[in-house]
């Protein structure tokens, strides 16, 4: 683990990069000297920063990603939006995060069922009061009555709506308001291990991260400051905004 220099409020960039640098597919790619797509400036910039441990390459990365909503190297931005932007620009990484979901609509009257399928790169959870991460996911997939939707078959008003998982990603990104979370998440029998937590306190971004496999120590990565913890010191932080889990297929 290594620190990253803060240039004019670039803590949000550093937090996103530190989380991605702990992502197993990215580590595997950049440890392989022949894997990087030399025609993709995003891929090249990330590899440069990763391999030289942040000593240079950040300013070039700022120029690469800078947009009206990502003021890299100029002002504060959003780590989650930066990760989304990078996934859009690097298809190989998008593939690791992307999964299928379905919106099922069942008429309360004629029981006609419609399914709208889509794909996404993250879960956006809205915590209702004090709850756990797993309970928030369970609440998301539970049927909810939609009172103002008209059935296309019988023209009656009202349906049950529920969200279903069609597939599961290698890297599960969860974006949420603060809630109680754990280092292990089991979905449909699939075990995910937490490897990064991106935090925001309203004015500053930082990251907790660890290398896979589980059992390695945790680090708090706050710009150039790097603090290590034992593997048993789990980083529960109420400033959490983004959680990154990796699928354990063993």
For the full predicted model, state whether its pTM sits above 0.85.
yes
Is the distance from CB of 14 to CB of 20 less than 8 angstroms?
no
What does 78-128 look like in DSSP terms, one character per residue? -HHHHHHHHHHH-HHHHHHH-EEEEEEEEETTT--EEEEEEEES-EEE---
**What are the backbone angles phi and psi of residue 6, rounded to the nearest 5°?**
-95, 120
For residue 208, give the nearest of 200, 217, 197 by alpha carbon. 197
pLDDT per residue as tens digits for the range 71-126 = 998 899 999 999 999 999 999 999 999 999 999 999 999 999 999 999 999 999 87
Report CA-CA distances (Å) from 224 to 104, 227, 233, 247.
47, 10, 21, 29
> Could you tell me the pLDDT band of residue 250, with boundaries at 50, 70 and 90?
low
The Cα–Cα gap between 29 and 93 comes to: 10
For the domain made up of 11-97+169-248, give the CATH fold: Cathepsin B; Chain A (3.90.70)
Q: pLDDT by residue (tens digit) across 132-180? A: 898 999 888 888 899 999 998 999 999 999 999 999 999 999 998 888 8
**What are the extents of the domains in the chain?**
11-97+169-248, 99-165
* Nearest alpha-carbon partner for 173 in 93, 249, 231: 93
Q: Is 96 left (phi over 0), alpha (psi -120 to 50) or beta?
A: alpha
pLDDT band at 49 (very low <50, low <70, confident <90, very high): very high
Q: Omega into 189 within 30° of 0, i.e. cis?
A: no
What's the mean pLDDT in 193-199? 96
């Amino acid at each position: 683990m290594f620190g990253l220099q803060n240039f004019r409020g670039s803590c949000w960039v550093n937090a996103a990069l530190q989380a991605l640098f702990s992502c197993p597919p990215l580590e595997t790619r950049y440890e392989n000297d022949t894997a990087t797509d030399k025609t993709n400036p995003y891929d090249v910039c990330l590899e440069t920063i990763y391999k030289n441990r942040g000593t240079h390459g950040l300013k070039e990365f700022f120029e690469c990603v800078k947009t009206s909503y990502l003021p890299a190297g100029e002002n504060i931005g959003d780590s989650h939006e930066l990760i989304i932007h990078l996934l859009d620009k690097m298809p190989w990484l998008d593939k690791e995060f992307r999964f299928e979901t379905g919106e099922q609509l069942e008429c309360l009257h004629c029981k006609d069922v419609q399914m709208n399928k889509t794909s996404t790169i993250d879960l956006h959870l809205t915590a209702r009061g004090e709850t756990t991460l797993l309970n928030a996911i369970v609440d998301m997939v539970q049927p909810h009555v939609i009172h103002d939707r008209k059935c296309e078959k019988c023209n009656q008003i009202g349906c049950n709506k529920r969200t279903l998982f069609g597939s599961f990603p290698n890297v599960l990104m969860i974006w949420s308001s603060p809630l109680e979370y754990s280092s292990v998440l089991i979905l449909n029998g699939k075990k995910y291990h937490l490897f990064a937590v991106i935090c925001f306190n309203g004015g500053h971004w930082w990251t907790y991260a660890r290398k896979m496999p589980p059992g390695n120590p945790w680090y708090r990565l706050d710009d150039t400051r790097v603090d290590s913890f034992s593997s048993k010191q789990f980083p529960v932080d109420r400033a959490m905004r983004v959680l990154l889990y990796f699928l354990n297929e063993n």
